[in-house]
Amino acid sequence: MILGLTGGIGCGKSTAARLFEARGLRRIDSDALVREVVLALPEVRAALRARFGDGALLPDGAVNRPVVAARVFADDASRLWLQDLTHPHVLALWRTALTSAPAADWVVEVPLLFEARLENWFDFTVCVASAHFQQLARLEQRGLPRALAEQRISKQLPLAQKIELADFVLWNDGSPDFLTAQIDRFLESLPVAR
């Protein structure tokens, strides 16, 4: 079984993914793959430098993520270009991981699951949702100013649409125990053997 886990920024996808992992599912964190693997590829770094200039890279050659983020969230064409650059690499990494243990149960965190039309990769899609004020509060706790938090939320598919498109929804407005209980009930309800 392969679960595609999505939701709005700041809704708690990673928290939910860790809870699934603690229950025996193998976890793939797409954002971590981008940060740790894809952005380290020489061809990706070269493309970023060519598009955004020398400021896109730090003196040690690593990607200057705050500079690149500022550029892509301010310009839709640049954001889409970056997705086109990184997504094929992420999909190749997924394919390698998933084929390494085809009988395993997986949870794959995919912030842009529906935006990138990746539903067919998964047996079920799960959306982690929370109230807008909760999203903002969580993003501000991470150090993101409210204006930037609103900007990043606006660049994703509206949460209401993600909820509508998902096979299952987990509400993350309550306590950690409430989210945990929802995940346990969800796993117990699945129509496939685990």
pLDDT tens by residue, 148-180: 888 888 888 899 999 999 999 999 998 889 999
Of the candidates 112, 114, 104, which has an alpha carbon nearest to the alpha carbon of residue 21?
Answer: 104
Q: What is the pLDDT of residues 105-152, one digit of tens each?
A: 999 999 999 999 999 999 999 999 999 888 888 888 988 888 888 888
Token pair in block for residue 132: 């807008």
Cα separation of the two ends of the chain: 8
CB 145 within 8 A of CB 136: no
Q: Which of 65, 60, 36 is closest to 48 using CA atoms?
A: 65
Across the chain, the runs of DSSP E, i.e. the strands, are: 2-7, 26-29, 106-109, 124-129, 168-171
pTM to 2 decimal places: 0.89
- Average pLDDT value over all residues in the chain: 92
Provide the β-strand partners of residue 35: none
Rounded to whole angstroms, the Cα distance separating 170 from 99 reads 27
79-84, long-range: CB < 8 A, 24+ apart: 79/155, 81/51, 83/112, 83/116
Q: What is the pLDDT of residue 191?
A: 66
**pLDDT given at position 193:** 45
- Contacts of residue 44, Cβ cutoff 8 Å, sequence gap at least 6: 38, 63, 85, 86, 89
| pLDDT confidence of residue 175 | 86
Domain boundaries, the chain: 1-25+105-189, 32-104
Distance CA 109, CA 35 (A): 14
Thinking of the domain 1-25+105-189, which architecture would CATH place it in? 3-Layer(aba) Sandwich (3.40)
